[in-house]
């Protein structure tokens, strides 16, 4: 009887170990591309921070939160948005590699950017933008503005007035 009990205990332990295995990896929807970008305006009056994870989650924060690299808004990106994100991000990385840190003079927008592509990381800081960086920043800002669209869309719609 104790042999059977021992075998049952061993079998139960094997089942538990299999069920408690490593957590599944997050789904990679961006072909391995992830981004962290801090943008500070030339006059230092505005700042925005953006993160896009490999699973297609977008997060952003502005003002003081951005300067601390904290986000306060998140949303999931649609497949078309992910394709555009990957295209724009890869263009920025290629432009950065070609420019080797070139940028404009003091007084221009500042960028602190880190891009992960698989196991490779590209990090750069620069003053001044270019066509590729401007396009990526505009795209990310549009995504960030969704928070306001979502708030407005959630407001009640006015109905008919009483006595009309």
Q: Where are the alpha helices (DSSP H) in the chain?
A: 2-19, 64-67, 79-99, 131-144, 146-153
Which residues neighbour 119 within 8 Å (Cβ) at sequence distance 6 or greater?
Answer: none
Q: Closest by alpha carbon to 63, among 76, 53, 48, 80?
A: 48
Distance CA 77, CA 96 (A): 25
CA distance 144 to 111: 17
pTM across the whole model = 0.74
- Tallying the residues shown for the chain, one arrives at 164
Nearest CA to 102 out of 130, 132, 122 is that of 130
Q: Please report, in tens digits, the pLDDT of each residue of the chain (164 residues total).
A: 565 665 455 555 554 444 455 555 669 999 999 999 999 999 999 999 999 999 999 999 999 999 999 999 999 999 999 999 999 999 999 988 877 655 555 568 999 999 999 999 999 998 887 899 999 999 999 999 988 766 666 777 776 666 55
End-to-end CA distance of the chain: 84
> How many CB atoms are located within 10 Å of the residue 90 CB?
16
């Amino acid at each position: 009887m104790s042999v059977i009990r021992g075998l049952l205990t061993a079998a139960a332990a094997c089942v538990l170990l299999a069920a408690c295995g490593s957590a599944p990896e997050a789904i990679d929807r961006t072909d391995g591309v992830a981004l962290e970008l801090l943008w500070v305006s030339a006059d230092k009056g505005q700042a925005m921070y953006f993160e896009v994870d490999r699973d297609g989650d977008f997060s952003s924060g502005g003002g003081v939160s951005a300067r601390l690299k904290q986000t306060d808004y998140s949303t999931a990106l649609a497949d078309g948005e992910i394709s555009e994100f990957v295209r724009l991000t890869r263009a920025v990385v290629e432009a950065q590699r070609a420019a080797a840190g070139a940028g404009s003079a003091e007084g221009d927008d500042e960028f602190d950017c880190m891009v992960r592509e698989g196991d490779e990381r590209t990090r750069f800081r620069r003053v001044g933008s270019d066509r590729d960086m401007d396009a990526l920043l505009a795209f990310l800002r549009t995504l960030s503005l969704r928070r306001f669209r979502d708030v407005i869309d959630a407001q009640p719609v006015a109905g008919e007035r009483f006595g009309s």
